[in-house]
Structure 1
Amino acid sequence: MRARLLLLFSLSIFSTNESSKDEESCQFLTDECALAWEIVKSSNAKLTRMDRESILEQTENQLLLQEILERTNRVENMLELVLEKIAHVEGKNSPAPMNLVQEEIFNRYDGSSFMLKVLPNGKGFYVSSFKTNWYAAKEHCEMNGTVLASIKNGEELAQLGNSLPNKFRNHYWLSGSNIGQPAERFVWLDGRRVDNSWWDKRDGEPDSYFTGRETCVRLHWAKLWDTYCTDSTYFICEKP
């Protein structure tokens, strides 16, 4: 309480006449008010001009810090909106509205689970809930009567990529790879070549094939990346 009174006094530098009037007014109120006024007067005798300026400066610094935090929060909110809109301004195809992609969870006999996503064109994709390397993902799809997914066109890429959970962080294996091909040539399991315009050019993709190791295609935020087939990530299957 004493500290609050000191701060109040430092921000209200009374003249002698004003102090007398305030004291008289206070005496007509409660005993607590009179006691508080005595504390203020006692503090006034001890409080130097330097002390008052120091309190004022601390108060101004706190207000400035609060303003900086509020501006930081506004910038973070704006950044989230920008990230959401980037996909809409890149490429010739706009992402499909999320409510057009139907979803359903499927549990397999081996305990694994997949999310079935049905695109507006009727094509269904099974998205895994666990991570593994590309070779094991391919085998797992085939064991369940499906194959690793191959993208047919840019619209399908945009619709599927923008419907995936945690699309800004997660990656998903697709069927594309350069296995058995020249290092720079990527093909889907059905033999079609991966469209060069689908790579994530912002991050310099593809950027791993030149090492000489087998590299496979993964989906990230409606764009394609290449990485070592032995890496572990989620994967997507489809009906052949």
Structure 2
Amino acid sequence: MRGLALAVSWLTVLPVRAGPADGAALDPRVAAAAIRWAPLVGALLGAAAAAVLLGLTALGVPALAGGLLTIGFLALATRGMHLDGLADTADGLGCYGPPERALAVMRDGGAGPFAVVTLLVTLGAQAAALAALATRPAAGLVATTVLATAAGRAGFGWCARRGVPAARPGGLGSTVAGSQPCWVAPLWWAALAGAAVLTVPGRPWQGPLAVLLAATVVVALSAHTRRRFGGVTGDVLGAASELGVTVVLVALSAG
């Protein structure tokens, strides 16, 4: 359960004390377990986001505004960590030069044009998808949001799989790089795809297809960032999460 507690501490603003005592090194086994628990934490965040959106809808807030506010809630609930990773990854992939140059751009802390455009498109797509989902029955909205946020975090396991080195020393990437057996992410994706059969009544294929598309995007992102950066970073994990969430939400809001 230490891994679950660490996942909650890492991935949310909840005040869960799960790290080592001051001066002590983090147990790599606990860090690896936290990555495996991440989709469950994502599901909890999705349930909370669905509750926020349902509440806003009940108050008469316009659907798109409710979607944007829900995305804002998720950013606050996760300290904006995944969005920061997406922005830094976009800037790193958008620059020219060797891996060292890309990693330096990612460490800079500023938001370049690639980061701004990527965030605008991603957040806009998420908000629009949630606005469309807000018009559907509450049960479907909750199931879809939970599925999306869980599927996004399932991508951590693929990006941190064995054989993928850390792109640089220090940070979350070096802590969890190579820590996951290759079956962890596919097992999560398969389980979520099975559960997704029930997300869209009358179209049992749509949920599994959404998970498959999200998995495909994460696999492609991991392959590209490994070539471009030389390995995985914490920013890549955040980018994988946000892209996976976006793909599932958009795919399930269609139709």
Please say which structure displays the higher CA radius of gyration. 1
TM-score (norm 2): 0.20
TM-score (norm 1): 0.21
